[in-house]
Structure 1
Amino acid sequence: MRLAVISDIHGNSLALAAVLADIRAEGADAIVCLGDNVSGPLDPAGAAEMLMGLGCVAVAGNHDRWIFGDTPDLIDRFAVSRLSPAHQLWLSGLPATQVLDGEVFLCHGTPTSDEMPWLDNFYTGRRTELPDEATVAAHADGLDFPVLLCGHTHIARCVRLKDGRLIVNPGAVGLQVIIGSPDARYALLDRREGQWSVSLRTVPYDHAGAADQAARNGFAQWRDVLMHGWDGPEGLF
């Protein structure tokens, strides 16, 4: 089985289209999506339409939840203003966690929080770091699945716990921060003879077009990070 894992699209339909083309070329059997699907000053409706068309197993991210809250931020308000009632119905129906085929657990942040990072601490300036094994393993307590998936930090990383369970963050499809590259990220997982392996994929796309979209929509502060991927997340949301 070959499983494609996408996360943190943030309304970037240009990046999503490129990633889905690469997934097709790689011959994935299934796709799963880890949330933060539409909240970005780009093409929320286009991204939602593509994701809905996949019919894939998916969970909600913190921004997917905040869109329907009492105090959505400026980006979330922009996103929801562009979504059709069908898009909003789909988004509001996404669960916080899911399990695929009894083997693959999906969440956005950690199994108990869509706002808490799992495999990286949040940014301190331009630095992030992997927490120690005990801290990472504590979030996986009671989850008897060989593969655990998370997103949220936009940093691609995979680790194995000492008991053999694999935890994977595929990175972000639509918004690269402190990576030093604007290219989209996702992960491919392969199961052969009962063992799972992972490949972290990097996909070039029309990032200049995405930067222009953001600027046209009134969010020029997104231009540099979409163009280059060197900047941090400060001031974007």
Structure 2
Amino acid sequence: MRFAVISDVHGNRLALDAVLDDIARLGVDAVLCLGDHVSGPMDPAGAAARLMALPGPIIVGNHDRWVLEAMPQRAIDRFARSRLNPAQLDWLRTMPAEAVQAGEVFLCHGIPGDDNAPWLDNFFDGRTTTLPSEAEVAALADGRDFPVLLCGHSHVARFVRLRDGRIIVNPGSVGMQLVHGAPDARYAIIERRGGGWTAELRIVRYDWDGAARQALDNGFPQWAEVLTTGWAGPEMLG
């Protein structure tokens, strides 16, 4: 079995298209989507249209929930809601919080039971993120007896192998790089080989200047640095 894992597209259709092209060249059995699909000032509707056509499970992220609120508090969530058509909003409403693929791969957005908490990284202080302890990471895997555990949310691509052999993979963000120091899109390939699972964290170049122009045209100039440098922290996103 071989799966692509994508997360945190945040409405960046240009980045998503580049990642999907890369996935098509590699060949996979399904694409697993970990949430925060549309909330960004580039092309939410275009990103939703691409994602709705994919084979594989799609789960909800915290921003997807916020987009569906009657009056979203965050400007990027309000913008995304204003651009989505009724069918796309209904698509968001049908997503589960968690999923299991092929009986072996567990999907969540943040941590099990909470889509607004990070698993492999304590969240950001400006441009700095800190790593949790081994005990903290392992404790959150208790009761999830799957060989592969997937999470997103923090936008930081990481691979962890627990002492019992299970792996935890955060593929990073397709559409918005934070603190990586590079604007390239990120995703992961997971594959079962010889009875065990491996993961590859992939980096894909795309037209980030074009994405920054979309954000500027849509009235979100603070996103330009995020999209073109990958150094920005989340406090700049608005």
Superposition TM-score tier, normalisation by shorter sequence? over 0.9
| Backbone CA RMSD of aligned residues | 0.9
Letter in 2 for 1:82: R
Where in structure 2 are the equivalents of 1:130-149 lying within 5 Å? 130-149=131-150
Q: 2:71·2:78 contact (CA, 8 Å) conserved in 1? A: no
Paired residues, what number? 237
For normalisation by structure 2, the TM-score amounts to 0.98
- Aligned counterparts of 1:71 and 1:148: Cα–Cα separation in 2: 33
Equivalent position of 2:107 in the other structure = 106
Which residue identity lines up with residue 107 of structure 1 in the other structure? C
Tell me the equivalent position of 1:122: 123
Give the aligned partner of residue 94 of structure 1.
95
Q: Which moved more, 1:94-103 or 1:125-134?
A: 125-134
Percent identity of paired positions between Structure 1 and Structure 2? 63
Aligned counterparts, 1:29-44, within 5 A: 29-44=29-44
Identify the range of structure 1 (6-15 vs 67-76) with the bigger mean alpha-carbon deviation. 67-76
Q: Where does residue 221 of structure 2 map in the other structure? A: 220
- CA drift of 1:69 comes to 2.2
Judge which range, 223-232 or 12-21, deviates more: 223-232
Q: Runs of 5+ in structure 1 lacking a partner?
A: none
Which residue of the partner structure matches residue 58 of structure 1?
Answer: 58
2:45 corresponds to which residue?
45
Which deviates further from its counterpart, 13-22 or 120-129?
120-129
State the shift of 1:71 in Å.
4.4
Moved more, 64-73 or 78-87: 64-73
Partner of 2:21: 21
> What amino acid sits opposite 2:8 in the alignment?
D
For 2:29, the aligned partner's letter is D
TM-score by length of 1: 0.98
Residues in 1 aligned to 2:100 and 2:181: alpha-carbon distance in whole angstroms: 33
Distance in 2 between residues matched to 1:27 and 1:54, nearest whole Å: 13
| CA positional deviation for 1:125 | 2.5
> Which consecutive unaligned segments of at least 5 residues does structure 2 have?
none
1:8 aligns with 2:8: yes
Mapped partners of 2:211, 2:56: distance in 1: 25
